[in-house]
């Protein structure tokens, strides 16, 4: 299943007709530049292209008052002077004779995207639209926004598709107060927004943008505001906000659909945001969101005023929606102190409403089983395996892990069958809760007929050339055995495909006795392919390769 890109050229028609430095940044080139870049990179061609339609009056009425819609309809016939006068009645808004048409297309594009995703025609998608929507309110335009595209799409998904839980992630650098007002007492829509706030000294200067605005009545806890009190927030701050606030709450909420108010004025170079996050960050944020709602992510453009930064960020997001691996993040991944303060203030404000945030302040209290719960030990029969993570370590009565199973023996055979069963069950879970379209490959030494792989998991049949495999295996006695050698060939082949970007992640099954040696070869092989840093995570019992020293350096490299 693919990715939709919803667009209509008519949305480039609206433009500022008089002098207004505040509004001139919301220009037609925002769309044309982003689209050109998507075409240049071959990304547009990989999407299902949908031409935006206009939202109907009834659809606009899901959020806006009939009087407001009628007022907007009337602007089509106004002259420049009258348009300027009317624009002056709102905060940071300009009207053009084409504004009504554009704004109906923008809302319609969001609706079409949601329909395509919920009909199963595509897994996810992006609507490239203007004017943006998240500041607009029931009867007011605000901050370049005319109709609230994402709020209309959310109401539509509830009414027309019967959804009960929708998550709106607003990563635009401004607070989408319009969305907040529309859903503040509604527990079926969880609204998350981070925004430049500077303790209330940044537009739109609202007290209700702070972390202690958490929704009201039945909607208590379903508004999550993360105010940034300094400019210059970057990749580490954004990722920390996702990991420590948004994702815990979102997993607990368990949405059926994720809508993204995708403003890229939170990216580096933007004159409004003054933030530092690089375009690659948006690929990572998009990937993280795809862990929710079975990957049903509908993104709708909001702000973004630095044409180059905007275009690159849009490309990064589309790449991630298409399932491409995300490029590494640059810079030291250390959040700013001010960001951590903001994150903590949200945790405190939201803790009464979310179990997943309740322990955040008490970290580090229980250690080593001395108090409270202890870590769950698991066996590691396979260095790159999944099965061990699922099966608890069998422990002797003294509490020591039981010895590793010997290949060939009857216990080994039983364990191997269990492993395949555990792998099957993991893959079942993946099917029920489809993961992001990250290309995962599974390599088995003896293909098991009972193992039905989900359609988007590749069954990797290739092996590294025999001479290469034997050369890597030579120093290791444990790899002399046939089965271990075959498994090593598969591991090397998987590594190759991961390092050249064809595959994002892989699972390989190898005999228990060869686990440490296979891991040793995998590390050396990764380094010899030019990897600069490897994170080796051993879950449970595993002998460290003999020459992997304590400071993490592998001798000889």
Which of 10, 20, 22, 496 lies at the binding interface for ligand Q9C (CB under 6 A)?
Answer: 22
Binding-site partner at residue 166 among Zn ion, ligand Q9C, none, CB < 5 to 8 Å by type:
none
In the complex with Zn ion, which residue's Cβ is closer, 115 or 265?
A: 265
| Residues of the shown chain interacting with Zn ion in the complex, contacts defined by CB under 5 A | 172, 174, 263, 265, 303
**Residue 244 among the catalytic residues:** no
Which of 7, 100, 144, 253 lies at the binding interface for ligand Q9C (CB under 6 A)?
Answer: 144
Question: Three-class SS of residue 143?
Answer: coil
In the complex with ligand Q9C, which residue's Cβ is closer, 37 or 135?
A: 135
The Cα 427–Cα 130 span in angstroms is 41
Which of 111, 145, 494, 525 lies at the binding interface for ligand Q9C (CB under 6 A)?
Answer: 145
DSSP 367: -
Strands in 263-372 per DSSP E: 297-301
Q: What are phi and psi of 268, to 5 degrees?
A: -60, 140
Binders of ligand Q9C in range 168-187 (CB under 6 A): 172, 174
The structure tokens 């890109």 sit at: 5
Site string for ligand Q9C, 64-103 (x = CB under 6 A): ----------------------------x-----------
Where does this chain touch ligand Q9C (CB under 6 A) — which range of 139-147, 317-325, 346-354, 391-399? 139-147
The Cα 428–Cα 157 span in angstroms is 27
Q: Is 493 in the site for ligand Q9C (CB under 6 A)?
A: no
Asked if 88 and 80 count as a contact pair (C-beta separation under 8 A), the reply is no
For 265, the enclosing helix (H) or strand (E) is none
In the complex with ligand Q9C, which residue's Cβ is closer, 144 or 228?
A: 144
Q: Is 238 in the site for ligand Q9C (CB under 6 A)?
A: no
Q: Is 303 in the site for ligand Q9C (CB under 6 A)?
A: yes
The Cα 57–Cα 390 span in angstroms is 52
Strand pairing class (457-459; 2-7): unpaired
64, 135, 175, 284: the catalytic one is 135
Question: Three-class SS of residue 289?
Answer: helix
Whole-angstrom CA distances from 368 to 234, 365, 371, 395, 540 are 34, 10, 7, 17, 15
The Cα 26–Cα 46 span in angstroms is 28
**Least Å from the CB of residue 310 to Zn ion:** 11
The Cα 4–Cα 321 span in angstroms is 9
Q: Is 263 in the site for ligand Q9C (CB under 6 A)?
A: yes
The Cα 286–Cα 295 span in angstroms is 10
Q: Is 264 in the site for ligand Q9C (CB under 6 A)?
A: no
Where does this chain touch ligand Q9C (CB under 6 A) — which range of 43-51, 138-146, 413-421, 519-527? 138-146
In the complex with Zn ion, which residue's Cβ is closer, 219 or 263?
A: 263
In the complex with Zn ion, which residue's Cβ is closer, 317 or 488?
A: 317
**Least Å from the CB of residue 143 to ligand Q9C:** 3
In the complex with Zn ion, which residue's Cβ is closer, 61 or 204?
A: 204
Whole-angstrom CA distances from 107 to 14, 63, 167 are 15, 11, 18
The Cα 38–Cα 21 span in angstroms is 28
**Least Å from the CB of residue 261 to ligand Q9C:** 9
Which of the residues are catalytic? Answer: 135
Q: Which positions lie near ligand Q9C, rule CB under 6 A?
A: 22, 92, 132, 135, 143-145, 172, 174, 203, 263, 265, 272, 302-303
């Amino acid at each position: 299943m693919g990715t939709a890109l919803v667009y209509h050229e008519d949305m480039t028609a609206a433009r500022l007709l008089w002098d207004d430095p505040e509004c001139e940044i919301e220009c037609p080139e925002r769309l044309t530049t982003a689209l050109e870049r998507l075409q240049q990179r071959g990304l547009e061609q990989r999407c299902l292209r949908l031409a935006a339609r206009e939202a109907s009056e009834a659809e606009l009425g899901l959020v806006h008052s009939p009087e407001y819609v009628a007022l907007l309809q009337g602007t089509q016939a106004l002259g420049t002077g009258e348009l300027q006068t009317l624009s002056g009645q709102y905060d940071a808004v300009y009207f053009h004779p084409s504004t009504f048409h554009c704004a109906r297309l923008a809302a319609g594009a969001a609706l079409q995207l949601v329909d395509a995703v919920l009909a199963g025609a595509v897994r996810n998608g992006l609507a490239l639209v203007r004017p943006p929507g998240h500041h607009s309110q029931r009867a007011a335009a605000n901050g370049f926004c005319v109709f609230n595209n994402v709020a209309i799409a959310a109401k539509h998904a509830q009414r027309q598709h019967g959804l009960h839980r929708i998550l709106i992630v607003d990563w635009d650098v401004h607070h989408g107060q319009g969305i907040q007002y529309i859903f503040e007492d509604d527990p079926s829509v969880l609204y998350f927004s981070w925004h430049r706030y500077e303790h209330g000294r940044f537009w739109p200067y609202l007290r209700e943008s702070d972390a202690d605005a958490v929704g009201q009545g039945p909607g208590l806890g379903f508004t999550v505001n993360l105010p940034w009190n300094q400019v210059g927030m970057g990749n580490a701050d954004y990722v920390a906000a996702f990991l420590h606030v948004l994702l815990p709450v979102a997993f607990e909420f368990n949405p059926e659909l994720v809508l993204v108010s995708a403003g890229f004025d939170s990216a580096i170079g933007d004159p409004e945001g003054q933030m530092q996050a690089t375009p690659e960050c948006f690929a990572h944020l998009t990937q993280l969101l795809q862990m929710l709602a079975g990957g049903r992510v509908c993104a709708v453009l909001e702000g973004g005023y630095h044409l180059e930064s905007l275009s690159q960020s849009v490309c990064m997001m589309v790449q991630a929606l298409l399932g491409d691996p995300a490029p590494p993040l640059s810079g030291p991944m250390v959040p700013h102190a001010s960001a951590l303060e903001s994150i903590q203030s949200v945790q405190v404000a939201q803790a009464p409403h979310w179990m997943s945030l309740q322990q955040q302040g008490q970290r580090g209290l229980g250690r080593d089983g001395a108090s409270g719960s202890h870590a769950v030990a698991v066996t590691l029969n396979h260095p790159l395996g999944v099965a061990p993570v699922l099966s608890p370590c069998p422990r002797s009565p003294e509490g020591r892990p039981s010895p590793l199973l010997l290949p060939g023996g009857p216990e080994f055979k039983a364990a191997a069958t269990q492993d395949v069963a555990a792998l099957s069950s993991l893959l079942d879970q993946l099917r029920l809760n489809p993961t992001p379209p990250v290309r995962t490959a599974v390599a088995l030494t003896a293909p098991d007929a009972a193992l039905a792989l989900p359609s988007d998991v590749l069954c990797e049949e290739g092996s590294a050339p025999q001479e290469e495999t034997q050369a890597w295996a030579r120093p290791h006695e444990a790899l002399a055995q046939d089965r271990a050698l075959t498994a090593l060939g598969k591991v090397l082949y998987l590594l190759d495909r991961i390092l050249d970007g064809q595959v994002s992640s892989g699972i390989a099954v190898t005999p228990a006795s060869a686990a440490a040696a296979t891991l040793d070869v995998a590390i050396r092989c990764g380094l010899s392919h030019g990897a600069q840093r490897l994170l080796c995570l051993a879950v449970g019992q595993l002998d460290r390769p003999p020459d992997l020293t304590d400071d993490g350096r592998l001798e000889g490299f």
